[in-house]
Amino acid sequence: MKKAEVVAIVALLALLVAPLAMDRYLLSVFVLVFWAAYAGQAWNVMMGFAGLLSLGHSLYVGLGAYAAAALFVHFGISPLLGLFPAMALCMIAGVVVGWLGFRFRIEGVYFALLTIAFAEVARIGFDHLTWTGAAGGFFLPVSRETAGQWWNLRGGPLFFYYLSLGMALAALGICWALRRSRLGHQWLATREDAEAARAIGINVTRARIVAVLISAAMTSLAGVFYAFYYNNLFAAQIFDMSRSIDIVLAPIVGGIGTLFGPIIGALILIPLGELLTEATRALGINAPGVKAIFYGLGLMVIIALAPGGVWPAIARRLGIGEGRR
């Protein structure tokens, strides 16, 4: 067995038994870590594999969350079934964004702006949609009777810990498989040089659309999870550009286009945020914004010192062969 495999198995076992020693707070922090790792993995399919910079992934989080929540609240449909229409809705939205972008050759920064524009339109739209509570928020009912219904994603912190861990692992598995597939190689070729990829017979537009579809579908599940974990949805929060930014941070900091990058990035950023909260509290600084100032500075330092991401730097040191390619 290779050193890398031993490390991975030990880490996984540790995560499986760790909740025994955790309080509610720590559990909630790990849920955030796994969520960020999952969503980052989904985003990485588009940016890391296919080279499509999306800065509007909050669109898919929000659509997925609202779709599953509305089906549950209005029709009593379990999210385990509701996630399929939610995925379908996000895939349709993804096709619209992708088709517009690729059909009219909107690339790079322009494409990123297009994705932001769609997320913003959705934010304002849902802020006015009374069927889902408009600006007043959309709330999922919480009651004692439904408390243990896992099929309705009702459960305690422990339930959501294992659910989010499972999602993060599944996303890792999917990305691993995609990376090795024919499609994965087409993406890499497209990312490195679209013209050359076209010349050797790759259907670039098709490869890109498929990347958007997979990424959108995966991200929609992050939205479904969000809705049933927090039990409340506000369009101004879930579609906000800062959510899109949060999603892209973990994979970029961890290492774009790598399999473990989003996980490592989430493991760095979420605890960093929590530590800053603790540190400012311990120092008795009660001013708003201090934490975020350090967070912003931290981002600038990380990207200046480890431009390719933290994970490739660690992997090289450990002698594990996961470079950019």
Interface with another protein (CB under 8 A): 47, 53, 55, 100, 104-106, 108-110, 112-114, 116-118, 120-121, 124-125, 127-128, 241-242, 245, 248-249, 252-253, 256, 287-290, 292-293, 295-300, 302-304, 307
| Closest approach of another protein to the CB of residue 226, in Å | 21
Query: Cβ of residue 114: shortest distance to another protein, in angstroms?
Result: 6
* Smallest distance, another protein to C-beta of residue 184, A: 20
Task: Count CB neighbours of 14 within 10 A.
Answer: 9
Q: What residue has token string 């955790």?
A: 22
- For the chain, the C-alpha Rg in angstroms (whole number) is 20
Q: Which is nearer to another protein, 118 or 311 (CB)?
A: 118
Can you tell me whether residue 156 is helix, strand or coil?
coil
N residues, the chain: 325
Give the nearest distance from C-beta 233 to another protein in angstroms: 18
Q: Residue 4 or residue 116: which is nearer to another protein going by CB? A: 116
If the CB atoms of residues 125 and 166 are measured against another protein, the closer one turns out to be: 125
Of 18 and 290, the one with the shorter C-beta distance to another protein is 290
The CB-of-102 to another protein minimum distance in angstroms stands at 11
Rounded Cα gap, residues 208 and 72, in angstroms: 33
Q: Dihedral of CA 286/287/288/290: which sign?
A: negative
Q: Which is nearer to another protein, 178 or 303 (CB)?
A: 303
Q: CA nearest 137: which of 145, 147, 127, 146? A: 127
**Buried/exposed code over 165-182 (b: 16+ C-beta within 10 A; e: otherwise):** bebbbebbeebeebbeee
